[in-house]
Amino acid sequence: MERRTRVRFAPSPTGPLHIGGVRTALYNYLYAKQKGGDFIIRIEDTDSHRFVEGAEKYIIDSLNWCGIKADEGVDENGKVVETPSERHPHAPYRQSQRKGIYKKYADQLVAAGYAYYAFDTPEELEKARAEVETKGETFIYNQLTRKTLRNSLTVSKEECDKLILERTDWTIRFKMPEDTVVKMDDLIRGHIEVNTDTLDDKVLWKRNDELPTYHLANIVDDHLMEITEVIRGEEWLPSLPLHYLLYKAFGWEDTMPRFAHLPLLLKPDGKGKLSKRDGDKLGFPVFPLKWVNAQGEVSRGYREDGYFPEAFVNMLAMLGWNPGDDREMFTIDELVDAFSLERVLKAGARFNPDKAKWYNKEYLRMKSDKELTDLFVPILEQHGLQIVECAKCALVAGSEISVQGADFTNHIFTVGYVEKVVSLIKERADFVKDFWDIAPYLFISPDEFAAFGVKAGAFSEKSQAARPVDPRAKVYDDSLTAPFLAKDVDKFWKKENYELAFKAADFVRSYTGDFSKEAFESALEEYIKSNEWPLGKVMNCMRMALAGASSGLGIADIVTFIGKKEVAKRMEFIKGKLI
RNA sequence: GCUGGGUUCGUAUAACGGUUAGUACUCAAGAUUCUCAAUCUUGCAAUAUGAGUUCGAUUCUCGUACCCAGUACCA
């Protein structure tokens, strides 16, 4: 009979979950949902020494942000699940809280001859290791060496019993069979065979802290929780033979889960697997959420960097898996439908920050203006602007909100104004947080840039590189002077061009026609051309005056947004600044 | 070192043993524009290597190189 699909994500709370871990959780989730089964979160905290405060909460928060919801596990709506219930029949899901259940399984293995007591102290083992290493070999606790070490196989029954009672630092080790070929099947890698002579006698139980090691706890819990597929990182592949043998030793072969070992996420330069330190070094986050460690060191997170969770999840899903065709945009529900372990790749994938950014851009464009506005408003408020629902809602006495919805004097804007700005600039942005940098001049006048911490000259990243400042280009005071190339100064930023721009501004002031962008744009261009002025030069000087930058939105856009009054004000300002 | 896993443009990837080796990102060029973006078009660019099997190999087998993981009383 087919068993109900049950998979688990079983992280260890030793620090923040990096994106490789998130992907493992994601694939587990996708698999479970596609099969109509359960996705379980279990916390493997059997190493008390490496426990990190807050890590478990971080893991849960991260998965929630990604939209990866567990059917069963440690957490329910922010509360730790302590006792079994209908929804969480196997609670608790923290191995430290389950410590009472593992010992009997370890004992069972000893009784059946699959495991034995080992009395070697860590110091003794360390010494044995060091000794062998001087000969250039590696010490392995296995069928060859266990005969020379102190354990229940080499000491008498009486002494063994005595040591078990007296000492508190013994362990139970798995007795790896000799010269046996373990035949395994992996859902991703196919058939694998390993000879047990290359394996060691792993510790299963630690007397000193009364806890099992990963290997024992993992097998016991997967069995008790009726896990049907174990989907985990490739770093576990070398311990797969041990896990197979453990299932066999327990007599649980019939219900042994199937295994799938996922390829690792590699650094962008291809050297080694992605690790926690890489992010800040390589300039992109390796964590879903921001993390501050005990030393106060901050690691960036995708959420804080402005990524949409949908984009992050989509990007992550495509690293090591593909649907078999050219599609690459997937919602998490679409991923559930399309996912299959058969199409997961064997080779490790290098993480590509550019593609992550591209995904975010694509998702940003799919969002409605309303949604983006809601995200942008708090940023504007942080910059000291007041955003109001309607023109009459302004709290400042005497504020005059224009028909467009802007009061530049009192820094008040209507939501409608913000939404129109968003609609105009969203295609130029990768992130919502870019909105402000793209067009600050739609909210504040260039004469206030310094007060608002805005850098004049909104150059693209590319053209920003090392531009020498030409003194003749100084139209604002030093703090606001954008760096110009000398050839551009001769081409655009001459006083005579500004004179023409002022005349064009006079035309704007007297313009009484349709003030929509299209109508106004053609009227302005027609006016400039009819006077036989150089269109590009006049327009650029206007932009410098109105936007405080040599590049940016179209003049007609800027003018119709800020309004005639503000145009006149900004023109007057720059007049006094020209040298 | 040993054991296991892996290897298609710079990156992510596609290709019943038969394709002109496709797509996306990045990059470059052109178009467009008042500038910058955006957009559109075009372009650059790959089967690690040597044998074998086969009429035919990116695809199957073996060797070599390189990369990764594991080699803990960590997970």
Q: DSSP character for A287?
A: B
ipTM of the complex: 0.96
Evaluate if the CB of A569 falls below 7 Å from strand B.
no
* pLDDT at residue A486 greater than cutoff 80: no
Interatomic CA distance for residues A355 and A36, integer angstroms: 31
Nucleotide nearest to A193 (CA to C1'): B4
Query: What per-residue confidence (pLDDT) applies to A397?
Result: 65
What's the pLDDT tens digit per position in A342-365? 999 999 998 889 999 999 999 999
Identify whether the C-beta of residue A153 lies closer than 8 Å to the C-beta of residue A116.
yes
What's the pLDDT tens digit per position in A4-47? 999 999 999 999 999 999 999 999 999 999 999 999 999 999 99
Structure tokens belonging to residue A335: 């991923």
Q: CA A221 → C1' B54, Å?
A: 50
| Chain CA centroid to CA A537, Å | 44
- Type of residue found at A311: A
What's the pLDDT tens digit per position in A553-567? 999 999 999 999 999
Q: How many CB atoms lie within 10 A of CB A62?
A: 26
Interatomic CA distance for residues A175 and A193, integer angstroms: 19
Q: In sequence order, which residues have a C-beta less than 8 Å from that of residue A65 and are 6 or more positions away?
A: A288, A289, A303, A309
Interatomic CA distance for residues A548 and A557, integer angstroms: 15
Q: CA A347 → C1' B56, Å?
A: 28
Enumerate the nucleotides of strand B whose atoms come under 7 Å of any protein CB.
Answer: 1-8, 10-15, 22-26, 28, 33-39, 67-75
Q: In sequence order, which residues have a C-beta less than 8 Å from that of residue A355 and are 6 or more positions away?
A: A315
Q: CA A241 → C1' B69, Å?
A: 15
Structure tokens belonging to residue A469: 């400042």
Residues 471-510 (A) near nucleic chain B, CB < 7 A: none
What's the pLDDT tens digit per position in A88-122? 999 999 999 999 999 999 999 999 999 999 999 98
What is the average pLDDT across A197-222?
A: 96
Evaluate if the CB of A272 falls below 7 Å from strand B.
yes
Residues 78-117 (A) near nucleic chain B, CB < 7 A: none
Among A28-37, A154-163, A393-402, where is mean pLDDT lowest? A393-402
What is the average pLDDT across A486-494?
A: 65
Residues 18-57 (A) near nucleic chain B, CB < 7 A: 44, 46-47, 49-50
Q: CA A279 → C1' B13, Å?
A: 24
Q: CA A138 → C1' B5, Å?
A: 21
Mean pLDDT of chain A: 90
- Confidence bin at A136 (pLDDT 50/70/90): confident
Query: What per-residue confidence (pLDDT) applies to A463?
Result: 39
Please state whether the peptide bond connecting residue A92 to the residue before it is cis, i.e. omega within 30 degrees of 0: yes
* pLDDT at residue A396 greater than cutoff 70: no
Interatomic CA distance for residues A249 and A114, integer angstroms: 7
* pLDDT at residue A284 greater than cutoff 80: yes
Structure tokens belonging to residue A110: 């000893």
Q: How many CB atoms lie within 10 A of CB A273?
A: 16
Evaluate if the CB of A573 falls below 7 Å from strand B.
no
Evaluate if the CB of A343 falls below 7 Å from strand B.
yes
Q: CA A97 → C1' B53, Å?
A: 58
Query: What per-residue confidence (pLDDT) applies to A471?
Result: 52
Number of residues that this document lists for chain A: 579
Radius of gyration of chain A (CA): 33
Structure tokens belonging to residue A441: 């001049």
- Coil, strand or helix: which one is A271? coil
What's the pLDDT tens digit per position in A285-331? 999 999 999 999 899 999 999 999 999 999 999 999 999 999 999 99
Q: CA A401 → C1' B11, Å?
A: 50
Evaluate if the CB of A318 falls below 7 Å from strand B.
yes
Evaluate if the CB of A465 falls below 7 Å from strand B.
no
Interatomic CA distance for residues A496 and A540, integer angstroms: 13
Q: DSSP character for A344?
A: B
Q: CA A423 → C1' B6, Å?
A: 47
Q: How far is CA A527 from CA A340, A524, A541, in A?
A: 62, 5, 16
What is the average pLDDT across A171-199?
A: 95
What's the pLDDT tens digit per position in A518-531? 999 999 999 999 99
- Coil, strand or helix: which one is A315? helix
Q: CA A519 → C1' B33, Å?
A: 17
> Phi and psi (nearest 5°) for A192?
-135, 140
Q: For chain A, what percent of residues have pLDDT higher than 70?
A: 92
Nucleotide nearest to A45 (CA to C1'): B75
> Phi and psi (nearest 5°) for A116?
-150, 160
Identify whether the C-beta of residue A415 lies closer than 8 Å to the C-beta of residue A377.
yes
